[in-house]
Every structure is written in structure tokens, then in C-alpha cells.
Amino acid sequence: MSERGVCREASHAGSWYSASGSQLNAQLEAWLSQAPPTIRPARAIIAPHAGYTYCGACAAHAYKQVDPTVIRRVFILGPSHHVPLSRCALSPAEIYRTPLYDLRIDQKVYSDLWKTGMFERMSLQTDEEEHSIEMHLPYTAKAMESCKDEFAIVPVLVGALSESKEQEYGKLLSKYLVDPGNLFVISSDFCHWGEQLFQDGFECQRFRYTYYDETQGEIYRSIEHLDKMGMAIIEQLDPISFSNYLKKYHNTICGRHPIGVLLNAVSELRRNGADMSFSFLNYAQSSQCRSWQDSSVSYAAGALVVH
């Protein structure tokens, strides 16, 4: 299904993150050096996908949990921001470029996924316009640099899945999640709050979400409380509870479907006796909202481990 030699360019380099390999490397090293390796080795991580100026420090807390010596394949599940999808899609590329070094797509796994009939193929233009996967490429390259010739990636663009489809994809991907040689990167920001136009790492959109629980104090405290309710539910690894939380509060978590797929994959493995736990390690907001004219995006970083 792939055109041999097709490369996906680092289309957001120079705007959302540095196009200079040396400068980008220094930034990533600085952020990673400040994050503790508390729960290595991670089998899966949740990390944000905004411009690195906003979320680079937060994302480091997730990537610090990656042990490159055991990982041979990195699945990257990101939500589709620009193209409507009711399923998941695979890239037409074989190589993803980054300012650090190129990442190779695992064509054997892609072929196996394609044969299930559950995947669409996105165009190269759609792939290059989407930032949710690309923003994890430099961090993946950095985290894996000591073994850079020994691993491949499996990028998956996740559509607006129904609960039943999240369960189907979770079951399908659980056989990969159980393998300690695989790492799952789940791309998601958390609450997008505000009515005004806000520049989320150079992505402009209207959020039209202004949930506010005045008992929590200032607006940004209410946002934090809302996000941390959702984060606590994710830590329970219960996809039904997470779906119910989203239905109740409508929190604008853009990676809710990739998160749902992960939670369903974990549920499948736990039903078969696997012992897994998830912990969030860092939380941040792009700005502190105090008035209805303000806007912000929240970021969270966490890791799944198998015991």
C-alpha cells in the first residue's frame, strides 16, 4: 500500500518547533534533564502536541520514562484535526523526516494492519498538514537516539471513533501493546478553554468551551480541577468511566479517541491477567485564565507500566 521511498517532510519545523537540529537537540536535552525517570520503562505514554514553547517541558516528563534499549517499535496515535475520519488511517510514506534524523515506518506492521480492513489511507498532504503525530517525532527521535538504527515507527491517525470502534481498535492493538518491545505514544492536549481565538502553538481555532465551576476559585483553577478529574479517571484505566466523564463535562480533550483506544487495549489485556498501571507525572497550562476574554490549553504527561 506504500509508494516506495515516499517521505513525509517535517512540515511544522521552523514554526511549532526549531528546524535547527542542534538547537532542537539542546532544547530537548534541557527539558529531559529536568524530568525525573520515575516509572521506567513505560509501555505507553500520553503527551501533548502543541508548539514546544508551550508544552515541551511537560512532554519531557512522559518521554523520560522511555527505555530505548527495550523498544524496537513506536506506535504513535494522534487525533485528526483537519480531516473528518470515522476510522483510523495509515500514512502513504515510508520515511518521516525530523531535524534530528529520519524515522522509518514499519512496513510489515503497516501491511498487517492494512489487511484487517479497518484502516483508511490518508494522503501525504493530510499527513503533512496534521501536527498531532508530527509533534511527537522529534521527541521520539531524541528518546530513542542511542538505538536509532534499531527501531521503526507505526503512525496511526485516529478519527472520531464511536465507543464500539474504540473497543475494536483497542482489541486489535492490544496484541502489540502486550509486547515489551513496543511503545505506544498517545498524542493529546487537555482542556481547550475560551471563546476567543487562541494561538495554540500557532494553531488558531475557536474553542467555544467555557465550563466554569466557581467553587474552585479562579477560572484556571476550575480548568485544572476539571482536567485532573479526567486524569484520575484515565489512571483507573476504565474506558467506560472515561466516556462517561466526557459525556458529562464535554471537556475538550482533543486526543480523547486515541486515549479511548489505549484504555480499551489495556482493558483487553487486563481481562487476560495483565497487571498494568498508569500515572500522570506533570500538568501545565499555556496561560492562567482569569476572565472570560482569556483562553488556554492544558497539557498532561503520563506513563503506563506493566508489572
Superfamily of domain 37-219+228-306 in CATH is LigB-like (3.40.830.10)
Q: What is the pLDDT of residues 24-51, one digit of tens each?
A: 999 999 999 999 988 889 999 999 999 9
Lowest average pLDDT, out of 28-32, 84-88, 156-160, 276-280, goes to 84-88
As a whole number of angstroms, the distance between CA 45 and CA 78 comes to: 12
Q: Which residues of 249-276 are buried (b: 16+ CB within 10 A; e: fewer)?
A: bebbbbbbbbbbbbbbbbbbbeeeebeb
Which residue reads 531535524 in cell numbers?
A: 99
Give the helix/strand (H/E) hosting 119: strand 119-121
Q: According to the model, what pLDDT value does residue 2 have? A: 41
pLDDT of residue 17: 97
In our burial notation (b when 16+ CB lie closer than 10 A, e otherwise), range 79-90 reads: bbeebebebbbb
End-to-end C-alpha distance for the chain, whole angstroms: 37
Chain centroid, CA 202 distance in Å: 18
Is the pLDDT reported for residue 263 higher than 80? Answer: yes
- Please name the residue that has the C-alpha cell 529520519: 102
Domain-wise residue ranges, the chain: 37-219+228-306
Indicate the pTM of the whole model: 0.95
The pLDDT value given to residue 38: 83
pLDDT above 70: percentage of residues in the chain: 95
Neighbours of 4 (CB within 10 A): 6
Q: Which three cell numbers stand for residue 99?
A: 531535524
- pLDDT for res 39: 81
DSSP class of residue 17 equals B
Q: Phi-psi bin for 285: left (phi > 0), alpha (psi -120 to 50), beta?
A: beta
Q: Are 144 and 68 in contact (CB under 8 A)?
A: yes
The mean pLDDT value of the chain amounts to 94
* Banded pLDDT at 206 (limits 50, 70, 90): low
Position 208 scores a pLDDT of 82
Helices (H), the chain: 21-33, 52-63, 107-115, 124-129, 131-134, 137-143, 163-177, 219-235, 239-249, 256-271
Least confident of 37-51, 92-106, 171-185, 234-248: 37-51
Query: pLDDT tens across 105-120, in order?
Result: 999 999 999 999 999 9
Per-residue confidence at 195, pLDDT binned at 50, 70, 90?
A: confident
Residue 179: partners with Cβ closer than 8 Å, 6 or more residues away:
73
Write the pLDDT tens digit of every residue in 110-151. Answer: 999 999 999 999 999 999 999 999 999 999 999 999 999 999
CA dihedral 98, 99, 100, 102 (to 10 degrees): 30
Q: Is the pLDDT of residue 1 over 50?
A: no
pLDDT score of 4 = 55
Determine the average pLDDT of the residues in 257-281. Answer: 97
Q: What is the pLDDT of residue 44?
A: 98
Q: What's the pLDDT score for residue 3?
A: 44
Q: CA 36: distance to chain centroid?
A: 20
Q: What percent of the chain has pLDDT over 90?
A: 91
**Rounded CA gap, 58 and 103, in Å?**
23
Q: What backbone torsions phi and psi does residue 274 show, to the nearest 5 degrees? A: -70, 145
Cis peptide before 138 (omega within 30 of 0): no
